[in-house]
Amino acid sequence: MLLVKKKENYVFQFEALNHFQGLTHAIACRNGGFSLPPFDGMNLSLGVGDDPATVTANRKRLRQMTGGGVHLYTRQNHGASMRIITRDAWARGEAIQTEPVPADALITDVPGIRLVIQTADCQAVMLFDPQKRVVANIHCGWRGSVANIIGNVVSCMTSEFDCDPGQMTAAICPSLGPCCAEFLNYKNEIHRSLWPFRVGAHHFDFWRISRHQLVSAGLSDGNVHASGICTRCNPHLFFSYRAAPETGRFATLIGLDVGS
């Protein structure tokens, strides 16, 4: 992971994604921005009780930091629904929504769109197929892991865009690590098939679960990159729901550049 200064703020980037021409991605730290405690400072979520005007200013700042483009947010609801934005739909103007659509994954082949996922301990998982030039961004909490939303998105990219999972690169962003992913009630919450990823008595390694689901979907293990950064252990860098339930959400975004 690289820590890069963008104007007044810092973002993390994956070297593996920086290798590709015409691809923009970033993981915004919580530093900078305009929000006051407990949402300080770069809160990108309109759904946590922060002042909407302040969140809008933060979103504008994020756009400026990451080279502009159309930033698409979704109303994430810990489900497994996907929103696909095709070039045809985009050209017809159908894809532009005033209200964010409920979805936990975004997929597109349209240059100039930035797919934005907001998290505070959940994973954002970015996907890129460099041959078909298709990107996806997934919100994956423990419910998403149980539902295998990751596998569903890879399948969707294959069926809708003719992608080859063997060509895809994936990046698992800062999120709750095995150090802090304690599920005391796991026998009722976590499906039995994921119990092999238990660490110690009640902790789970969701990074390994995501890697397993990506490889099971056809990705090469060498093309799966995990940040290895735990949000709960780094509350000065990232919002963490487990560190403080009343908090903001940081953003992970990916998109194709215009002209690429």
Contact residues toward Zn ion (CB under 5 A) are: 177, 179-180, 230, 232-233
CA 40 to chain centre: 20
- Smallest separation, CB 208 to Zn ion (Å): 14
Q: Return the amino acid letter for 62.
A: L
Cβ–Cβ < 8 Å for 205, 257: no
- Smallest separation, CB 179 to Zn ion (Å): 3
Show the DSSP H helices in the chain as ranges.
15-18, 52-65, 87-91, 142-147, 149-161, 186-189, 206-216
- CB nearer Zn ion, residue 65 or residue 229: 229
- Smallest separation, CB 38 to Zn ion (Å): 20
Q: Return the amino acid letter for 158.
A: T
* Pairwise CA distance, residues 225 & 211, whole Å: 8
- CB nearer Zn ion, residue 5 or residue 236: 236
- CB nearer Zn ion, residue 63 or residue 208: 208
Neighbours of 47 (CB within 10 A): 12
Q: Measuring CA to CA, which residue among 175, 180, 234 is closest to residue 204? A: 180
Residue nearest to Zn ion (CB): 230
- CB nearer Zn ion, residue 146 or residue 180: 180
- Smallest separation, CB 181 to Zn ion (Å): 8
- CB nearer Zn ion, residue 165 or residue 177: 177
- Smallest separation, CB 240 to Zn ion (Å): 9
